Amino acid sequence: MSGDGGAAAASLVTSRAASVAQDIDAAFDRLLAVPDDARARLYDAMRHAAIGGGKRLRPLLVQASCDLFNISRDSALRVGLAIECIHVYSLIHDDLPAMDDDDMRRGKPTVHKAYDEAAAILAGDCLHDLAFEILADEETHPDPFVRIDLVRALAVSSGPAGMAGGQMMDLEAEKTRFDLATVTRLQNLKTGALIAFCVEAAAIMARLPHEARTGLHGYARDIGLAFQIADDLLDVEGDAALAGKALGKDAAAGKETFVSLLGVARAREQAQMLVDQAKAHLHGHGAEADLLRAIADYIVERDR
């Protein structure tokens, strides 16, 4: 693949993504076996949110990053599963009436609609714990130094200095008009931090020296931002049926986004520039980085 994207990239992403999605669903099905007691409803709510649907982009990104270092598929899958636990927990909580108040997610009713708000809060909390339980287990990686580094990096990426901090900024965005620098920082936290962890996790498992991680960090930062710009474009131009959720909500809430600040044409240019830059960070790698290159292309070309 020359790195120009197009049909070959899309097909590489599609085939690997389908296999990853199947593995993640099967793993959630085993992990979330419903107990025969008063907690059944809690597990049902977790299963509703975690199984079936979703692009599984983050677990795919872990696999693609692990391709660079010959890390076992099992380790990559378990780390991807832990990240998906965090991602799904954050969707459940973000969808709550007190937060973004969404009724549909991944083409299904959100958890608080299908169950109730209490079950949604607790199902999110439980998936949050499961992420760390999965990473701490020796099945994930034999080296305890690696596991503890994964735990610490994930806790930072999902907490107040990462995803949750970005979500708080996002809520404040309805009250103040943010400039481009602030929206960029918000998105680097809200979606960028967890995407960056997907790539960082492979570097941690490979015990790659910190000075050798610069290129990967650059790749992750660039695709994280490109992903969010593409999301903002889809929010304006996308198809709600394909997306499986309500669109056009940012404009309705009066929130500044990359599209409101840059306009559609410049936002699209900016996303493509970031994708090219992301791929340039992989110049030292050969065919083993093809999936990472294809994911970068896919991120701006996707229709959901």
**CB of 296 vs a copy of itself, minimal distance in Å:** 28
Rule CB under 8 A: say whether 160 interacts with a copy of itself: yes
Mark 61-100 with x for binding to a copy of itself (rule: CB under 8 A) and - for no binding. Answer: --------------------------------x--x-xx-
Q: Compute the C-alpha angle 29/31/36, nearest 5°.
A: 85
Q: Is 51 in the site for a copy of itself (CB under 8 A)?
A: no
Q: Are 299 and 223 in contact, with CB atoms under 8 Å apart?
A: yes
| Residue 200 CA: distances (Å) to CA of 60, 132, 219, 292 | 14, 16, 11, 13
Could you say whether residue 55 binds a copy of itself (CB under 8 A)?
no
129 lies in the site for a copy of itself, by CB under 8 A: yes
Rank residues 126 and 226 by Cβ distance to a copy of itself and give the closer one. Answer: 126
Smallest distance from the beta carbon of 190 to a copy of itself, in angstroms? 11
Please identify, using beta-carbon distances, which residue of 104 and 169 lies nearer to a copy of itself: 169
Of 6 and 144, CB closest to a copy of itself: 144
Closest CA to 24 of 48, 60, 64, 71: 60
Residue 104 class from Cβ within 10 Å (0-12 exposed, 13-18 middle, 19+ buried)? middle
Question: Binding of a copy of itself at residue 132 (CB under 8 A)?
Answer: yes
Instruction: Pick the binder of a copy of itself from 8, 47, 55, 182 (CB under 8 A).
Output: 182
Q: Which of residues 135-154 bind a copy of itself (CB under 8 A)?
A: 135-137, 144-145, 147-149, 151-152, 154
CA distance 161 to 157: 7
Helix (H) or strand (E) holding 104: strand 104-105
Stretches 155-163, 193-201, 245-253, 288-296: which one binds a copy of itself (CB under 8 A)? 155-163
CA distance 206 to 270: 32
